[in-house]
Amino acid sequence: MIKKLLFLISLFLCISVISSCGIALEDKPRSLSAELPDTLIEGAITTTEAPSILETVQIFLAKDSEEGTMLLETVEREIEPDGSVKPILEQILNGPTADEQERGLVSPFAEGSTLVGTTLEGSTLLVYLDTLDGFPTDDSASNQLAFAMLVCTSTELLKGIEIEQVLVLLRRDDQTTAVNAPVSDGEPPADGEAVRCSNYLTYMQDPLLPLKS
C-alpha cells in the first residue's frame, strides 16, 4: 500500500514538472524533419547558384527600306557577358528573333558558321570563324551585307573598346587563313587586308552617320 502511494506521488510530481516547463504532451509522435528547412535535412538538394547577370548590347541586323534597299538597323540583345566581344558577335550569326522578324528585320546568315574567337591587335579586331558555310555565296549584295553587319557592329556599336577595322579569318586544323571581305564602297581590300565600316556606306542609314571608322 505504501509503495503504491509513493508511486502515485512520484507520478504526480513528474507530470507537474513537465507541465511547468511548457512541454506539451502529444498523443501521437510526429516526424521532426517535416518542420526543418531543406538546408538542414541530410541529403537535401539546395539551389544556391547566383542568378545570371545579363548585359544589354547592340548589334546590326538588316531591314528593307522603302526604296527596296537593305539597310543596317540597330537592335538590342541581352547576353551573358564573358569579358570578350565573342558573345556579342555571335548574336549576329544567330539571326533575328521571332519578334524581330515580325518587325521586318532579316539576316543574310544561314546555319553553318561558328565564331571560334576574337583577338584585338591594336585597333584591328581579328574575327576567327571555322567556315564560311553560313555566309551567302550566290548573291554578292547579300554577302556584302553579311560582312557589313559584322564589321560595323564591331567598329560602331561595341562599348568600351576602340576598333577601327576588322579582319575575318578562317581557322581550321591549326591553320589560319585571312578572308578577302567583299565591300560595297571604296577600293577592294588587298589579300589579307582588314576592312572598315566606311567600306559599307551603301547599307548605312543617314542617322547612323558619321561613322567612327
Q: The C-alpha cell of 134 is what?
A: 553560313
Mean pLDDT for all residues in the chain: 82
Predicted pLDDT at 191: 86
Q: What digits encode the pLDDT tens for the residues 8-51?
A: 555 555 555 445 554 454 555 554 444 444 444 444 444 555 66
Chain segment 46-85, per-residue pLDDT in tens: 455 566 789 999 999 999 988 888 999 999 999 998 889 9
Residue 7 pLDDT exceeds 90: no
How does 85-123 read in b/e, with b if 16+ C-beta sit within 10 Å?
bebbbebbbebbeeebeeeebbbbbeeebebbebeeeee
Indicate the pTM of the whole model.
0.75
pLDDT recorded at residue 41? 41
Tens digit of each residue's pLDDT (9 = 90 or more) over 92-110: 999 999 999 999 999 999 9
Could you tell me the residue ranges of all domains in the chain? 55-204
